[in-house]
Amino acid sequence: MEEFKMNYQKMAKEILLAVGGEKNVSSLVHCTTRLRFTLNSESKASDKKIKSINGVMSLVKKGGQYQLVIGNGVDKVYDEIIKMTNLGSSNNSEKEEKKGIVNKILSVITGSIAPMIPLLAGAGMGKVLLLILSLLGILDKSCQTYVVLKFIFDTGFYFMPVFVGFSAAKIFKCNQYLASFICLSMLHPEWMELVSAAKPVYFLGIPLALVKYSSQLVTAILVVWIMSYIEKYVYKYVPEMIKVFMAPLLVILITAPLGFIIIGPVGNYIAQLVADIVLFVQQHFGIVAIPILAAVYPWLVSIGMHKALSPICVMLIEQNGFDPVTRVIALCSNMSQASAALAVALKTKNKELKQIAYSSSVTAFLGGITEPAMYGVNLKLKRPMYACMIGGATAGLFAGIVQLRAFVYVTPGLLSLPMWVSEGSKNLIFAIITLIIATVVTFIFTFIIGFDDPVEDNKEVEYKKDMNNNSISQDILTPVKGEIVPLKDVDDETFASGIMGAGVGIIPNEGKIYAPGNGVISACFNTGHAIGITINGIELLIHVGIDTVSLDGKYFDLLVSKDQQVKKGDLLLEFNMDEIKKAGYDLTTMVIVTNSDKYVEILPTNKNKVNKEDILLTVV
């Protein structure tokens, strides 16, 4: 287990460096399979580096987010990033790049909802479990056990505005607890009693719309958005000596009444309008709309847009008791992706692809998690995606005819089949028929359309061989003269543990870094403290000092740029040793082969001191 943890640590470190470092991250959340970064500047992130990281299936830039598709281990990678940064407790304050209004809206919606998807799924399946226990006669709806479990599971949906408001406050960079307070005030029991009484309610003579704000996602996002501006204004002008109590008081006194008078009714109108439009389309054009949407849905997933449909599903289920669209097309698409991956697994002769296709197919069939199948198999091979569209559309046609409905918000899969259970209807049977159609049609068309089977790569390591099939070693020269320190002894656990790769440490005698061979600069950092260089396929990281990234480029003079060709002995970087030492930093410089796992052995020099032309590492 420790080995897996170490891999996640390495992956997290590589991702953080590739997105431009902690200072370039405004916010970070994760959903079922993706890390969703909001970056201050996408130009500081390296798309090429991200895509080359082992474990990153794909990069998606959509809705103002920089999304990394990881798969089932996304939560572990997220946890490792949170451990090594302050992203879990604070937001970066750097100015964000300008984004289009649509991207901003989508970014807010997905960023606010993504963290609460597991909660909705768990609470939703809990409600389904109660329904099944009731139908089987195990629990009577009048018994206290049933009542207690019901309000426990209902909590996730009833207080949804609070969870959404808390997440939205992080995106809008305002106080998350004040935001939660405002959302909670709109769910207060006394307000709910006033709404149920259906008698006119006034605030300062202004009539209030009698609206139940439970499960109101749109209202929560709008009220927190308005609060963020009110909070900035209030905290700017309230005197320091009374700010601790007066500022939050004013924020509450201004925002809460606005929520009841204007924001809440507007949010409710928008939510109701969207729900009415969706239902109208389903009822009058469902036979056409559902198949088209089911065919398009995989592409929405591929660009991360499918999460923007989550509020629609939640609103439909809350207001009407069912969702006849978003979960239905998700079922058609998920089963199609799973089936296509299964067909690829049976047809391919590539052992690695076969293994990936089988595992991702099982994940998609059982849990409805399709990103591994999509990015690892179907989208990569291209033609299976067309089979998915055909299978999804065919299943969608049947679902539209029988008007299939989902009754809880859960990702559709075999394990979540109870989401289609409805007392006194054949809805579950229709759902099973729908998934069978999607599976069979997609499977057949994947075989008919076919795909270009990738050539089997039998090489287990990347090392050259001579005519007699003997290994050819590659020498890496010393980039900075100084005293050798075994890597395990450097005062940085990440490097010392070997997570980043094999190599050595050098205590430098001069502030100059030279090219250790002919190659290409594969990575440059604005802070100047590290350089990546690729020499004949060997990926080297030269990292000057420990924690020197905190200097933010001070005392470093980078002399090369990314993708620049360099020759052995070229000066790459200069740094002021004296000033860095005065600032309290350890100057030990690490020279690491970051793709060490691709080689048989990395042999360090046996010298205690090295000069510029000495061999530092031998890679076999």
| pLDDT value of residue 463 | 42
Cα separation, 403 vs 396, in Å, equals 10
Q: Is the pLDDT of residue 4 over 80?
A: no
**Could you tell me the pLDDT band of residue 206, with boundaries at 50, 70 and 90?**
very high
Question: Which comes out higher in pLDDT, residue 308 or 538?
Answer: 538
Q: Is the pLDDT of residue 287 over 70?
A: yes
Q: Is the pLDDT of residue 547 over 90?
A: no
Write the DSSP string, 250-310.
HHHHHHHHHIIIIIHHHHHHHHHHHHHHHHHHHHHHHHHHHHHHHHHHHHHHHTTGGGGGH
Catalytic residue positions, numbered: 31, 543
For the stretch 485-490, contacts whose Cβ atoms lie closer than 8 Å and that sit 24 or more positions apart, written own/partner, are 485/588, 486/604, 487/590, 487/592, 487/604, 490/546, 490/588, 490/590
Q: CB 515: neighbour CB atoms within 10 A?
A: 23
- 222 three-state secondary structure: helix
| pLDDT value of residue 79 | 85
Q: Could you give the percent of the chain with pLDDT greater than 70?
A: 91
Q: Which residues pair with 38 in a beta bridge?
A: 27
Q: CB of 335 within 8 A of CB of 446? A: no
The mean per-residue pLDDT over the stretch 561-566 comes to 89
Cα separation, 12 vs 5, in Å, equals 10
Q: CB of 36 within 8 A of CB of 81? A: no
**Could you tell me the pLDDT band of residue 64, with boundaries at 50, 70 and 90?**
low
| pLDDT value of residue 131 | 79
| pLDDT value of residue 468 | 47
| pLDDT value of residue 346 | 94
| pLDDT value of residue 529 | 87
**Could you tell me the pLDDT band of residue 60, with boundaries at 50, 70 and 90?**
confident
For domain 472-619, the CATH class is mainly beta
| pLDDT value of residue 95 | 41
Structure confidence by residue, pLDDT tens digits, 125-164: 788 788 788 878 888 888 999 999 988 988 887 888 899 8
Instruction: From the options 3.30.1360.60, 3.40.50.920, 1.10.1060.10, 3.50.50.60, give the CATH code of 2-93.
Output: 3.30.1360.60
Q: Is the pLDDT of residue 256 over 90?
A: yes
**Could you tell me the pLDDT band of residue 563, with boundaries at 50, 70 and 90?**
confident
| pLDDT value of residue 464 | 46
Structure confidence by residue, pLDDT tens digits, 377-391: 888 888 999 999 999
- What is the residue type of 11? M
Question: Which comes out higher in pLDDT, residue 373 or 179?
Answer: 179
**Could you tell me the pLDDT band of residue 227, with boundaries at 50, 70 and 90?**
very high
Question: Which comes out higher in pLDDT, residue 92 or 395?
Answer: 395
Cα separation, 596 vs 603, in Å, equals 11
| Alpha helix positions (H), 420-464 | 427-449
| pLDDT value of residue 106 | 65
Give φ, ψ of 552 to 5 degrees. Answer: 55, 40
Q: Is the pLDDT of residue 218 over 90?
A: no
Provide the token pair at 177: 């607890």
All structural domains of the chain with their residue ranges:
2-93, 116-278, 289-449, 472-619
Report the range of poorest mean pLDDT among 202-216, 305-319, 476-490, 559-573. 305-319
The mean per-residue pLDDT over the stretch 503-532 comes to 90
Q: How deeply is 215 buried, as exposed, middle or buried, from its count of CB atoms within 10 A (0-12, 13-18, 19+)? A: buried
- The DSSP output letter for 517 is S
Give φ, ψ of 524 to 5 degrees. Answer: -130, 145
Cα separation, 370 vs 338, in Å, equals 7
| pLDDT value of residue 447 | 93
| pLDDT value of residue 461 | 40
Structure confidence by residue, pLDDT tens digits, 81-124: 988 887 765 444 334 444 556 566 666 776 777 777 778 778 87
pTM: 0.56
Q: Report which of 472, 459, 467 is spatially closest to residue 601, judged by C-alpha positions.
A: 472
Share the mean pLDDT of the chain: 84
Distances (CA, A) of 488 to 195, 528, 619: 67, 24, 18
